Amino acid sequence: MLTIYSASGGRSALSTRTLQQMGYTNVAHLDGGIKAWKEEGLAIEE
């Protein structure tokens, strides 16, 4: 599974859609992006 992420999820959603249109089937994006991930208190390695 390839997971695409961006700051708030908008660009990663578009990237995921484009990859799917190109024929990739095992691709997803992080809904809400890294911002939502951090707000949930999940680990971030910088």
CA dist., res. 3 & res. 34, Å (int) = 12
pLDDT tens sequence across 3-45: 999 999 999 999 999 999 999 999 999 999 999 999 999 999 8
- Residues 7/34, Cβ–Cβ less than 8 Å: yes
Residue 46 has pLDDT above 90, yes or no: no
pLDDT of 10: 95
Write phi, then psi, for 26 (nearest 5 degrees).
-110, 60
Please state the pTM of the whole predicted model: 0.81
Q: Which residue bears the tokens 């809400």?
A: 32
